[in-house]
Amino acid sequence: RGKPKRHVLPLNVTEVVNVTEVANNKPDYNGKHFLQLAGSDIRPRHCVIAHTEGIVTVTPNSQNAETYVEGQRIYETTMLKHGMTVQFGRDKLYKFL
């Protein structure tokens, strides 16, 4: 297993609320930001990353949407801080910068 790739999620600080949806397909999502991930472990609407007034959070959309922060599975909205790892599904690992 190689070193995880770094991916930058677009978070525009000029907007009061900015949402990035994470999912395995993009059927009818009309938001500005979308992260499409492949895999049987990624739900159709997996989770939401929100940036509101300088605070960034990640929220799984269901109990089946495997989402981890710093290696701990989360089931509710969790605040992200610089340098934390965020994992979607079993192996999609990202670093929040």
The pair of structure tokens assigned to 86 is 């965020």
- The CA distance from 74 to 65, in Å, is 9
- Class for the domain spanning 17-95: mainly beta
Predicted confidence at residue 30, as pLDDT, reads: 64
Domain spans of the chain, in order of start = 17-95
- The CA distance from 20 to 64, in Å, is 19
Predicted confidence at residue 15, as pLDDT, reads: 44
Bridge partners (DSSP) of residue 33 are 20
Give the pLDDT confidence of 21-54 residue by residue, as tens digits. Answer: 888 876 565 666 778 888 899 998 899 999 888 8
Give the pLDDT confidence of 58-84 residue by residue, as tens digits. Answer: 999 999 999 999 999 999 999 999 999
Predicted confidence at residue 81, as pLDDT, reads: 94
Predicted confidence at residue 86, as pLDDT, reads: 94
pTM for the whole thing? 0.77
